[in-house]
Amino acid sequence: MKNILLSFILLVTSTGITFAGCKYDESVPVLAKSDHQIIIISNNHQLIKYKDQEGITRFDLKNSDGKIEAEYMSMIVLSIDYPEIHELVKSQEVSSS
């Protein structure tokens, strides 16, 4: 009887742990992978540009280890938090037009 009770508790606990992180968050936009464009690659960072569902340009910043340092940034937030990278983006946009 103890084995059945312990097995049941273990089953319920493992099921709860498994499904704990599966909640859909509507505040995070769902984007297709093809929307992403890598625009700057340096020794330390990789800047990824994409458009959100409303057509606003957003940026993600990854470090050299591939970990995301900042995500879903607007051009204004990029200019405030990472001014040197913002200048590179502006100069790249001017040279491409």
pLDDT recorded at residue 37:
84
**Contact (Cβ atoms closer than 8 angstroms) between residue 73 and residue 61:** yes
Structure confidence by residue, pLDDT tens digits, 19-73: 665 554 555 555 544 567 888 777 788 999 998 888 889 999 998 888 999 999 9
Please answer whether residues 88 and 78 qualify as being in contact, where contact means their C-beta atoms are separated by less than 8 angstroms.
no
- 85 occurs within a structural domain: yes
d(CA 34, CA 40): 17
Residue 90 C-alpha from the chain's centroid? 22
- What range defines the domain where residue 66 resides? 35-97
| In a domain? residue 95 | yes
Asked whether the predicted pLDDT for residue 5 surpasses 80, the reply is: no
In a domain, 6, yes or no: no
Number of domains in the chain: 1
Higher confidence at residue 4 or residue 76?
A: 76
